[in-house]
Amino acid sequence: MNTHTSPPVFLEKLVPPRLRRVEKTAPVVCRNGDVPEMKVLSVTSEIFPLVKTGGLADVTGSLPKALEPFGVETTSLIPGYPQVMRQLAEADPAPERVATIEDLLGTHAVILKVRIDNLNLLVLDAPELYHRPGGPYVDADGTDHPDNWRRFAALSKAAAEIGGGLIPGWRPDVIHTHDWQSALTSVYLRHMGIDMPSVITIHNIAFQGQYGADVLPLIGLPSSLYAMDGMEYFGDISFLKGGLQMADAITTVSPTYAREVLTPRFGMGMDGILNERVSVLRGIVNGIDLDIWDPATDPHLPRNYDVSTLRRKRDNKTVLLQRFGLDMDDGPVFSAVSRLTWQKGFDMFADTADEVIFKGGKVIVFGQGDHAIEAQLLATAQRFPGRMSVHIGYDEPTAHLIHAGSDAIVQPSRFEPCGLTQLYALRYGCVPVVSRTGGLSETIIDANDAAMSARVATGVQFHPVTTDGLRLALRRAIHAYEDPKMWARLQNQAMKARFSWERSAQQYASVYTNLLRSNGQLATDTNSPGN
């Protein structure tokens, strides 16, 4: 098996001799004698609170803070979208220009350094690529930007150049990439002959960055990469596959998902390469920022509460019902905060929402996604005025209010790498109703008789992941709600569950440490996190 400690043969021939090896960074020293100090460059297409479309931003925004106690200093490279540049304009101190790339895939780019919300940021300011209306990936009409292949190849190439010493006086020890948007970083590192360990995290393998092979020369990569052991993917190329081939370590966002992606059903065509590289694959469950998601201090809530004052949650429910124009009775509120897609199962929820409504409950759906599923949910809501509300869009304060005011959160995902919504729901005493897949199966304990008797149940799971399966799960949840003692026990057990970043951050620090050891940059230390 190729251990990827040196460039594959087809790349070795293309790397100029002067670039085939660069001087390694200074050896990593230890803080307090046992925790290695290291610098990590995180390369991501979104990061909370600057720009967010989903859970990726929450992870990349909260993991750097969680890594600090383990001696890891993270700097995040992000594109200079309009919403990012607006926040930079208000930053104090002002951003510092630290590097210029005269020709970044045919455009001029500047790298700005700034600190916002305790995050160390490098912003890739390339107006031709990023200064445009719409979101990070789609235009104002919801259509993919036609040059996304160039936009995110540029992000990856800039990251590789930073790894090679582009910024005077600063060079990371490890580069951590996220999903297909930054996956090419490790490919550029190999092609440019830069000796820099890299990690790629798969947040959702369904998104693969698949484009025609004719873009290879346009992004500065050789046509020889169009090969089975390169980036070739069903007649096209895949940015994600390139990253999976070239990265030194691969992680997913839950151990269950790490096993699932090895199968044809969940591997989405990548199961072959992942099985080939299984020795460097590891699942690390996501955590949440317990300071941001805390009902006791959350500034977005009309009334704060904790596990000892759970009755106050009712005040948030009243405000929530008013906000969404629903009837003010005592029936349970089942909500969904999600991308409205087939993957997330919301076509099934459109077909089963009546199960809640006919039992006296109310339904709130908050999110956006596939237009057909949005229309299906809106049509269902029109049948039940005062009982169901669908809002197409997203904002952070409303998401917090929904968790605080709802009785249950519904996540009927057909596959789910980890999921964060159910973790937020637990924290807010909002009982999750989830499918038994990926990280949902790991983080929620089903309210079966044994788990309830042992006082460990935190939600309701269902399988198979079908409309009938979801309908039965909703019935079970409503039955539990009708027993006040049972429901209160579920809420209490949910709020006592802890999914902070501490353990997961330690595992990421271990991954980085082991890479530096194998790269000869860190002496073996039996006390460090990798052992």
Assign 3-class secondary structure to 54-98: CHHHHHHHHHHHHHHHHCEEEEEEEECCHHHHHHHHCCCCCCEEE
Tens digit of pLDDT for each residue in 44-75?
999 999 999 999 999 999 999 999 999 999 99
Give the chain's domains with CATH numbers: 9-287+501-518 (3.40.50.2000), 307-496 (3.40.50.2000)
Residue 435: what pLDDT? Answer: 98
Distance, in Å, from the CA atom of 352 to the CA atom of 516, rounded to the nearest integer, reads 51
Low-confidence ranges of the chain (pLDDT < 50): 1-35, 524-531
Q: Helices 148-163 and 239-246 sit at what angle, rounded to 10 degrees?
A: 20
- Please tell me the distance from the alpha carbon of residue 439 to that of residue 283, in angstroms, as a whole number: 10
Q: State the Cα–Cα distance between residues 444 and 460, nearest whole angstrom.
A: 8
pLDDT tens profile 316-358: 999 999 999 999 999 999 999 999 999 999 999 999 999 999 9
Distance of alpha carbon 421 from the chain centroid:
11
How much is the pTM? 0.88
Bridge partners (DSSP) of residue 363 are: 334, 388
Distances (CA, A) of 191 to 284, 356, 362, 472: 29, 56, 56, 53
